[in-house]
């Protein structure tokens, strides 16, 4: 017998088209390929238009800060001539305290412009606060769907803090236990209300992040005479990497190396009731970063605008303990008390800067606000309550969900490279699986896969041969 879940999910594409005012079918070229750039440009806003929208909304033009004391710390543990200058874009200065204000500002502007009465978003984190804040400014009703609890009705302090701030902005927050219900309930509400889908993965939201990359390129040229050598970006669903990289490229900073960074939560399953409260990071971790990079169209929209493999040069992982250590160092050395998720990239930057020449520059492209449940002390206390060990020592002994090991010395911070070629192969495998067992990729498909994996047609063809042989 058909259930309400089955009925709603079978109409997912139709509901999302109506809720976004956008026909994704026009971009489709084959079971594998679609016109990505046409989709990104379909909203009709230029980058100048988006900057104007964001300035009106109280978003963007955030400070770029040089972290001289963090740089000195890195140089004190580097070889002679090594230790790049470290900068950070302080996105906590945005209205709701994170880079996701940029994402929300464009989506909510579109919702108002198209005449929607309200907006709905599914999120457990900063994006919910950003959507709620922007909806308040535009006078729109706002509903936030949030995975908050495990089956014992225990919620992570960071997620509960986000519920509070969304409600403070006037949003209605619908809280759920972990599981597949999140997107179902969002779709059901969109179907019932006719509200706009403020999806994290629409072209509206990802285009809003491009201004961040643009500002970084402009400000670094003004401060140092050149774009950054490296831009380090915390990676979860991939929109942060995608939007920032696109903005850098549009600003002529094509030589800047794009490095994504995630907290290593390997071994924990994000949809597991048992594992839900055994992770101390609700975003910026491999549980989102790897699945969304290797199959971005798992999102709530028919085609995801966040396609990070198009832009990643390196993907680094750090441990929870290393990130908490750097979070504390940033407070003590730079007077910046910022949330741990944004400091994931900062941790990778500390490790990277040690191996780069002194004249090189590393920009960490975001911070986020902290406080209450988002504070790293609250997260560590909650970890202990959930039976996770917390100790100081060698971070190599960190085990996700079992023990958080906080370094004793800065030289113990050592980001690890995640195999990007392996991610590319996984992406191609998923594309073939989605296309169907009998589908044979065309030359156009291969060109698309090359672009979507930041590789070449020859490499994609080699991957296809390897996958055929393996099957």
Give 385-410 pLDDT, tens digit per residue: 999 999 999 999 999 999 999 999 99
Same domain, 45 and 89: no
Q: pLDDT per residue over 201-244, tens digit each?
A: 999 999 999 999 999 999 999 999 999 999 999 999 999 999 99
Rounded percentage of the chain residues whose pLDDT exceeds 90: 82
Paired strand residues for 315: 260, 418
Question: pLDDT value at position 2?
Answer: 60
Paired strand residues for 263: 285, 318
**Structural domain count, the chain:** 3
Q: Which of 204-218, 261-275, 277-291, 457-471 is most confident?
A: 204-218
C-alpha Rg value of the chain to the nearest Å: 21
Same domain, 288 and 401: yes
Same domain, 142 and 268: no
Same domain, 173 and 316: no
Strands 230-234 and 389-393, by their bridges, are: unpaired
Rounded percentage of the chain residues whose pLDDT exceeds 70: 100
Domain boundary among 202, 226, 252: 202
Same domain, 196 and 332: no
Same domain, 313 and 352: yes
Rounded-to-integer distance, Cα 279 and Cα 400, Å: 7
Same domain, 145 and 135: yes
Question: pLDDT value at position 1?
Answer: 44
Same domain, 147 and 250: no
CATH number at residue 157: 3.40.50.1100
Same domain, 275 and 383: yes
Question: pLDDT value at position 273?
Answer: 86
Q: Does 423 map to a domain?
A: no
Nearest to 302 by CA among 46, 107, 45, 26: 26
Question: How many residues are there in the chain?
Answer: 471
Are 68 and 84 contacting, i.e. CB atoms less than 8 angstroms apart? no
Domain boundary among 136, 170, 202: 202
Are 125 and 283 contacting, i.e. CB atoms less than 8 angstroms apart? yes
Rounded-to-integer distance, Cα 346 and Cα 235, Å: 12
- Residue 329 corresponds to which tokens in the numbers above? 């160092």
Residue 235 DSSP SS3: coil
Same domain, 208 and 105: no
H-helix segments, 251-361 = 286-294, 320-334, 343-354
The owner of tokens 């099957």 is 471
Question: pLDDT value at position 399?
Answer: 95
Same domain, 233 and 304: yes
Are 132 and 105 contacting, i.e. CB atoms less than 8 angstroms apart? no
Q: pLDDT per residue over 440-466, tens digit each?
A: 999 999 999 999 999 999 999 999 999
Q: Does 427 map to a domain?
A: no
Q: What is the mean pLDDT of residues 124-149?
A: 94
Q: What is the mean pLDDT of residues 178-186?
A: 85
Same domain, 325 and 386: yes
Q: Does 115 map to a domain?
A: yes
Rounded-to-integer distance, Cα 318 and Cα 326, Å: 11
Q: Does 426 map to a domain?
A: no
> Does the structure show a pLDDT above 80 at 90?
yes
Q: What is the mean pLDDT of residues 361-376?
A: 91
Are 17 and 196 contacting, i.e. CB atoms less than 8 angstroms apart? no
Angle at 177 between CA 174 and CA 178, to 5 degrees: 120
**Residue predicted with more confidence, 271 or 25:** 25
> Does the structure show a pLDDT above 70 at 82?
yes
Q: What is the mean pLDDT of residues 340-362?
A: 96
Domain boundary among 175, 202, 229: 202
Where in the sequence is the domain holding 248, given as residue range(s)? 59-97+204-418
Q: Does 425 map to a domain?
A: no
Residue 343 has, within 13 A of its CA and on its CB side, a CA count of 25
């Amino acid at each position: 017998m058909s259930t309400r879940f089955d009925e709603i999910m079978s109409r997912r594409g139709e509901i999302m088209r109506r809720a976004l005012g956008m026909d994704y079918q026009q971009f489709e070229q084959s079971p594998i390929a679609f016109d990505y750039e046409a989709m990104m440009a379909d909203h009709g806003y230029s980058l100048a238009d988006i900057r104007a929208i964001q300035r009106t909304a109280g978003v963007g033009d955030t400070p770029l800060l040089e972290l001289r004391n963090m740089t000195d710390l890195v140089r004190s543990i580097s070889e002679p001539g090594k230790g790049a200058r470290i900068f950070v874009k302080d996105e906590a200065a945005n209205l709701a305290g994170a880079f996701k204000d940029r994402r929300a500002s464009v989506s909510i502007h579109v919702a108002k412009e198209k005449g929607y009465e309200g907006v709905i978003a599914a999120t457990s984190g900063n994006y919910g606060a950003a959507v709620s804040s922007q909806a308040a400014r535009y006078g729109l009703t706002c509903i936030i769907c949030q995975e908050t609890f495990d089956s014992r009705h225990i919620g992570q302090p960071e997620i509960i803090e986000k519920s509070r701030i969304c409600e403070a902005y006037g949003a209605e927050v619908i809280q759920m236990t972990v599981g597949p219900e999140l997107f179902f309930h969002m779709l059901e509400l969109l179907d019932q209300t006719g509200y706009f889908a403020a999806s994290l993965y629409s072209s509206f939201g990802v285009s809003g992040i491009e201004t961040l990359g643009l500002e970084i390129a402009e400000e670094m040229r003004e401060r140092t005479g050149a774009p950054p050598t490296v831009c380090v970006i915390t990676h979860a669903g991939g929109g942060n990497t995608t939007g920032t990289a696109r903005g850098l490229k549009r600003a002529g900073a094509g030589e800047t190396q794009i490095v994504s960074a995630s907290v290593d939560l390997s071994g924990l399953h994000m949809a597991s009731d048992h594992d839900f409260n055994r992770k101390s990071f609700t975003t910026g971790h491999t549980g989102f970063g790897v699945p969304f990079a290797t199959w971005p169209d798992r999102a709530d929209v028919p085609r995801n605008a966040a396609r990070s493999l198009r832009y990643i040069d390196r993907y680094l992982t750090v441990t929870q303990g290393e990130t908490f250590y750097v979070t504390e160092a940033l407070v003590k050395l730079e007077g910046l008390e910022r949330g741990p998720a944004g400091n994931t990239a900062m941790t990778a930057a500390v490790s990277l800067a040690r191996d780069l020449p002194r004249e090189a520059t590393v920009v960490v492209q975001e911070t986020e606000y902290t406080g209450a449940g988002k504070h790293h002390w609250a997260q560590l206390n909650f970890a202990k309550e959930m039976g996770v060990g917390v100790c100081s020592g060698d971070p190599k002994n960190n085990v996700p969900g079992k023990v958080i090991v906080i370094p004793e010395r800065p030289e113990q911070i050592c980001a690890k490279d995640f195999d990007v070629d392996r991610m590319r192969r996984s992406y191609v495998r998923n594309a073939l699986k989605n296309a169907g067992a009998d589908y044979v990729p065309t030359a156009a498909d291969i060109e698309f896969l090359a672009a979507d994996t930041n590789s070449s047609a020859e490499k994609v063809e080699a991957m296809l041969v390897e996958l055929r042989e393996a099957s």
